[in-house]
Amino acid sequence: MNYLITIIGPTAIGKTSLSIALAQHFGCAILSCDSRQFFKEMKIGTAVPSEEELVAAPHHFIQNKSIFESYSVGDFEQEALTKLDELFQKNNVQVMVGGSGLYVDAVLKGFDEFPEIDPSVRAEINSKYDALGINYLQEQLNTLDSDYFQKLQTENPQTLQNPQRMKRFVEVCMGTRKPYSSFIGKRKNTRNFTSIIIGLEADREIMYDRINQRVEIMLNEGLLTEANALYPNKELNALQTVGYRELFDYFDGKTTFEFAIEQIKMNTRRFAKRQMTWFKRTENATWFDYAIDRTEIFKHIEKQLKK
């Protein structure tokens, strides 16, 4: 029996530290499931593990892609499952960690199956998007699948600003003449491992304080310089990310530096809140306070392994 210990929770809660402790305890590797830590150009602003942390345990899917590459959650699902098959041959316990809920779900549960869409539909949507912008996609989804639009608006509003995903939703609706949501939950994906899901949480004030401290650390480590180097490519999808967008506005002269930093902190806090909303829906997750004695988490996992 193979086991995948998955650590979930909001940003800056201590997931990396726990994952390393678990990997060392079980003598296994860590799969990163953070959709921005994949990109080698985005080291500081995505809080990539330090050099010391990276050598403390084998890591996979950390800075393995470029922002100039096309890389989807579906690509990650296939690569992660292939890597897990390889790792399970050496050790039947492995660790996965990350704050990107969609990417976690992709590995643990897989995706639903959608029909092939006529390329002409995609071309039409791309043309309309180029002319009308994200509002066109939002209006179309609201018209063609209002239930799913409202669900995103409530649970994951950031997705409504993601052109690639919004185009996909709309093209499925237009290409099949059915709501995108009608295809969700129909396919059963099998996995060759049992999931043990550990959630880390904290009181809101503590969580927000940790986020504010994280932002200050990033600034001290050179976030401004990193963002400035990426500024010429600010339109890339990978860079539509908290911590970079706000500094791009500063470089554009739209805000002051001080205001940009406060916006980073505020938007990161909002992001953490959305992460918790997503992760709290995770089935079979066991939640622990971030400051709990780790031996309690280890005992819980050992108990699950013996079942």
pLDDT tens profile 116-137? 889 899 999 999 999 999 999 9
In angstroms, the CA 155 to CA 178 distance is 22
Within a 10 A sphere around the Cβ of 162, how many other Cβ atoms?
A: 17
Pairing of strands 3-8, 285-289: unpaired
Domain containing 261 equals 3-111+189-305
The pLDDT of residue 81 is above 80: yes
Judge whether residue 111 has pLDDT over 80: no
Number of domains in the chain: 2
Residues in binding site for ATP: 9-16
Q: What is the pLDDT of residue 187?
A: 67
Which whole-number Å values give the CA distances from 75 to 56, 84, 92, 98, 109, in the listed order?
27, 14, 24, 17, 15
- At 290-302, the pLDDT tens digits run 999 999 999 999 9
Q: Are 65 and 151 in the same domain?
A: no
| pTM (global) more than 0.85 | no
Task: Please check whether residues 128 and 17 belong to one and the same domain.
Answer: no
Instruction: Specify whether 172 is located in the same domain as 298.
Output: no
List CB contacts of 259: < 8 A, sequence separation 6 or more: 250
Domain boundary among 183, 211, 228: 183
Co-location of 155 and 207 in the same domain = no
Known binding-site residue numbers? 9-16
* Same domain flag for 163 and 199: no
Summarize the annotated binding site for substrate as residue ranges.
Answer: 11-16
CATH number of the domain where residue 26 is located: 3.40.50.300
